[in-house]
Structure 1
Amino acid sequence: MAHKVVRSIAIVVYPGFELLDLSGPLCAFNVASCMHEAPYALSVISARGGSVVSCSGVPVGSSKSTQDGIDTLLVVGGPEGQALERHRRTVALLENLAPRTRRVASVCTGAFLLAAAGLLDGRKATTHWRYAAALQRRFPKFRVDADRIFIKDGNIWTAAGITSGIDLALALIEEDFGAGLSKAVAKDLVVYHRRPGAQSQFSTILELEPASGRIKDALSFAREHLHEPLTVERLAGAVCIGARQFARAFVNETGETPAKAIERLRAEAAIPLIEKGTEPIESIARSVGFGDVERMRRAFVRIYGQPPQSLRRASRLNAQSGSPAMGGADRA
């Protein structure tokens, strides 16, 4: 029997960290190890070591680590993750360990700590949508993309917020041991396998958060009639106001034009159909109102950074992979 290389994963905590940012990925890696497919050696570390109290008041034991041989260094987030002056020892720990680590990752506002350590400079990263603007203002040397579940840039991974830490862990397991094991872990955890990194952090209607009932009603009407032409006049008529008044109110309340919002709603509706893989993409484009494949392709590239064919291909590869393969394919 071939010797299996043990991959050491060290998860960094600090006072006031978010417990689910730790427990979600930790559970995913542990389940993978329990399946005897992924020999992960898991540890929780902190700058001082000892008991570290989370933001929910639950203490977690940690070790003070400056060891070599860490394969993956993952720092969790917390409600006050942007108050970096309170976590200077943690930043110093990351500066010390990251250069000796194959892979570095963060969950939620843990990205602030990676940024403070200079690990995100020149890269693209994400964090919880609520803190994305603050992260970008504070650290202008890299680009923040708030509309991603997780992002990989080189050997640096960043995830959006809280539950996306599980998505990140599944992606790391897939990179290490293939889609088969990642899918098995997701099934054991009873979670979706797996939200693609390019997926939006939230639904279009929730994100837009219009203030008035009429704009909300117009969006609901649009979602129920995506396969039909949805002009400004049609949407305005559905909520009984004039087209010009509707267009002005829509932009004022959502920050987007009606056309852009409808495009996003259609793309959102198309994703599960594309990933299911049983219907031709041409038919899906018509059924959600894009009309033709090229129009849908352009929309997907704008919104998700990749065409619908790529999403379908990735979904098929996940479904067809029946066993884990050491050193899964590198994914951008």
Structure 2
Amino acid sequence: MTTQIPTTKTLHIGVLILPPIQLLDASPIDLFSMLTPSYLTACQLPAAIISLGVPITITYIAPSGANTIALCTANAGLQINAGLSDPTVAPGVLDILLIPGPDPAAVPEEAELEFVRKHVRAGVELMTVCTGVFVAGYAGVLDGKRATGPRAIIPAHLKKKFPKVKWEEKRWVVDGKVWTSAGITNGQDMVAAYIRQRWPGPLAEVVCAMADVGQRGVEYENLAMSENAWWVWQIFRAWVRGSGKAK
């Protein structure tokens, strides 16, 4: 039986926003927020569960700096709390750095890449969601490590662009302090797995149950070949429908 010890140290999580980002890619951060005593109290959970809550500070970071709005998909924006050089997010201050997916065609600026490198050298736990893996790849912090990314682009793009990375087709991959996830909602799978690993016991299970995440395993249920066949079939169906409308 696992006995969880209440946490008193505040966990500082930074979310690196390189806009425009996929809004859904940033959603796993809410799972961390659900661990806090204030959230658990608002849900009117038993005192025994609330006592296990984790004090957490979440800081949204972007090159544009504090008090700016970073563009996201779905015509949304995120309030930014800090710039890359702010002391509140200096290397060694953050415990976790989460990178949601930006435009995969964009190459990050050197200042943004160096920000990631310095935090990794300082011992941060790095998490990437979907195309956020491109940022880590350009920074070179994945070289020699096992990692994953959006499944459809691993063979044709990620393996060619970052050949020193050991790419795997999984929902998420852990290599030391580096956590990478595949497409979009796999970021939620990854964070659920992280929460269960770091805080095993009632708190993790209650949060995952409330969010209804963590049921999917690390392996895909379907083979890559069947995945490719599915895409070909959908394209064919779209082509047929398009041809019919053109007549």
Return the alpha-carbon distance in structure 1 between the equivalents of residues 17 and 60 of structure 2: 7
1:44 equivalenced with 2:65 (yes/no): no
* Secondary structure in 1 matching 2:28: helix
Partner of 1:225: none
SS of 1:60's equivalent in the other structure is strand
Whether the aligned pair in 2 keeps the contact of 1:171 and 1:182 (CA below 8 Å) is no
Pairing partner for 1:21 from 9, 15, 25: 25
| Partner AA of 1:41 in structure 2 | T
Q: Distance in 1 between matches of 2:225 and 2:159?
A: 22
The equivalent residue for 2:46 is none
SS in 2 for 1:94: helix
Pick closer, same or farther for the CA change 1:88–1:53 going to 2, 3 Å: farther
* Structure 1 or 2: more helix by fraction: 1
Q: Report percent identity of matched pairs.
A: 23
User: Is 2:229 the counterpart of 1:208?
Assistant: yes
Q: Which has the higher contact order (CA 8 A, sep 6+)?
A: 2
Whole-Å separation in 1 of the counterparts to 2:19 and 2:10: 29
Counterpart Cα distance in 1 of 2:170 and 2:16: 23
Structure 1 distance, partners of 2:20, 2:139, is: 19
1:131 aligns with 2:134: no
**Structure 2 match to 1:195:** 216
Q: Deviations over 1:188-245 (max 9, x none)?
A: 1133x33222335788744433868xxxxxxxxxxxxxxxxxxxxxxxxxxxxxxxxx
Q: Using the TM superposition, give the Cα deviation of residue 89 of structure 1 relative to its aligned residue in structure 2, in angstroms.
A: 3.5
**Aligned length, in residue pairs:** 207
TM-score by length of 2: 0.75
**C-alpha separation between the residues in 1 aligned to 2:60 and 2:54?**
18
Calculate the TM-score normalised by the size of structure 1.
0.57
- The match for 1:30 among 24, 30, 33 is 33
Which of 152, 163, 184 in structure 2 is aligned with 1:140? 163
Worse overlay, 11-20 or 167-176: 167-176
The partner residue of 1:76 within 89, 100, 125 is: 100
Please point out which of 167, 175, 178 is paired with 1:153.
Answer: 175
Q: What is the RMSD of the two structures over their aligned residues, measured on CA atoms?
A: 2.4
5+ residue gaps in structure 1?
213-332
CA distance in 2, matches of 1:132, 1:177: 31
Alignment CA distance shift 1:9-1:202 (3 Å): farther
Separation in 2 of the partners of 1:125 and 1:162?
15
1:179–1:129: structure 2 CA closer, same or farther, 3 Å change rule?
farther
Q: Does residue 54 in structure 1 map to residue 78 in structure 2?
A: no
Q: State the shift of 1:88 in Å.
A: 3.9
* Distance in 2 (alpha carbons) for counterparts of 1:211 and 1:137: 22
Give SS of 1:209's match.
helix
Q: What is the letter of the counterpart of residue 217 of structure 2? A: P
> Aligned AA for 1:77?
G
- Residue 105 (1) aligns with residue 127 (2): yes
Match of 1:7 in 2: 11
Within a 5 Å distance, the mapping from 1:164-313 to structure 2 comes to 164-191=186-213, 193-200=214-221, 205-209=226-230
**Structure-2 separation of matches of 1:201 and 1:89:** 39
Q: Aligned AA for 1:17?
A: I
| Secondary structure class of the residue paired with 1:9 | strand
Equivalent residues of 2:12, 2:96 under 8 A apart:
yes
Say if 2:7 and 2:54, in contact at 8 Å, map to a contact too. no
Partner of 1:254: none
CA separation of 1:136/1:108 partners in 2, compared to 1, >3 Å: closer, same or farther?
same
Deviation at 1:15, TM superposition (A): 1.3
Question: How far apart, in 2, do the equivalents of 1:190 and 1:209 lie?
Answer: 26
Deviations 1:120-170 (A, max 9, x none): 01011000112212111011111111x200000111000001111111111
Asked whether the equivalents of residues 148 and 201 of structure 1 are also in contact (C-alpha less than 8 Å), the reply is: no
Q: What are structure 2's unaligned runs of at least 5 residues?
A: 41-49, 234-247
Q: Alpha-carbon deviation of 1:32?
A: 1.4
Moved more, 113-122 or 33-42: 33-42
CA distance in 2, matches of 1:4, 1:56: 37
